[in-house]
Amino acid sequence: MKQIVVLISGRGSNMEAIVRAGLPAKIAAVISNRAGAAGLEFAVQAGIPTRVVDEREFPSREAFETALAEAIDRHSPDLIALAGFMRVLGGDFVRRYSGRMLNIHPSLLPAFPGLHTHRRALQEGVKLHGCTVHFVTPQVDHGPIVAQAAVPVLSGDTEGTLAARVLRQEHRIYPLAVRWFVEGRLAVDNGLVRVEGAETEQSVLAGP
Ligand code: GRF
């Protein structure tokens, strides 16, 4: 069975969605870069080994990433899923997990990489917004796109209402993308992701 390590920083609702999806894979560990991340509690209750590698305890990014890689590698994971992991990772770290690290980003990439995506979407007046699951590459929020879901931006939306609408879609497409990965259905060709099999159009449709 494929082994997955999930990295979180906070609430962990995407991690929870992946766990609850009942995928044909083992969630080997949930690792947080912040002590007290709320999501750790859910993982403990679900019987998943947890670990904190607190970035504030390390003198440099290199030292932190070395410790993080050690914590990950002890599980020999097939996949590392970044789920609300709010930390930019260095090129060496990213290359170590090339082709087996996914991230969820709350925008329709390549629009709005980086932070405050919902606020920026409202400021720009876009009519469609959404979320993206992508392979992680050294350029932040730019890797090959596995799945996207779009939602409308409605008049009267606030950052909060828009974020909530997008988050419902995150919880739908991230488990779907992880399922495709563990089923061995994803191929990356020249920076483009091909999904083997049917029903891949699910990835772009907003659900209820
Ligand atoms: C999500 O919107 C994710 O896309 C972004 O941060 C948020 C984390 O939420 N990177 P959670 O921790 O998964 O609940």
Predicted confidence (pLDDT) per residue in 119-131, tens digit: 999 999 999 999 9
pLDDT confidence bin for 141, thresholds 50/70/90: very high
Kindly tell me if the per-residue pLDDT of 205 is higher than 90: no
Crossing angle of helices 159-182 and 117-124, in 10° steps, is 120
Residues in CB range of 160: below 8 A, 6 or more apart: none
What percentage of the chain exceeds 90 in pLDDT? 94
- Average pLDDT of the residues in 93-120: 98
In this structure, what token pair is assigned to residue 189?
Answer: 């060709």
Q: Which atom of ligand 1 is nearest to the CA of 167?
A: 2
Q: How many helices (H) and strands (E) does the chain have?
A: 6, 9
pLDDT at 73: 98
- Average pLDDT of the residues in 157-167: 98
Query: Annotated catalytic, 105?
Result: yes
pLDDT at 204: 64
Backbone angles phi, psi at 193, to 5 degrees: -95, 130
Q: Which of 104, 112, 115, 140 to mutate to test the pocket of ligand 1 (most atoms within 8 A of CB)?
A: 104
DSSP H helices in the chain: 13-20, 39-45, 61-73, 91-96, 117-124, 159-182
Which helix (H) or strand (E) segment holds residue 103: the answer is strand 101-105
Kindly tell me if the per-residue pLDDT of 203 is higher than 70: no
3-state secondary structure of 206: coil
Residues in CB range of 153: below 8 A, 6 or more apart: 121, 122, 126, 127, 128, 129, 162
Ligand 1: centre distance to CA 170 (Å): 8
In this structure, what token pair is assigned to residue 142?
Answer: 């730019």
Kindly tell me if the per-residue pLDDT of 198 is higher than 60: no
Q: What is the pLDDT of residues 40-94, one digit of tens each?
A: 999 999 999 999 999 999 999 999 999 999 999 999 999 999 999 999 999 999 9
Ligand 1: centre distance to CA 8 (Å): 9
- Mean pLDDT for the chain overall: 95
CB of 61 closer than 6 A to ligand 1? no
Ligand 1: centre distance to CA 14 (Å): 6
Q: Which atom of ligand 1 is nearest to the CA of 16?
A: 13
3-state secondary structure of 134: strand
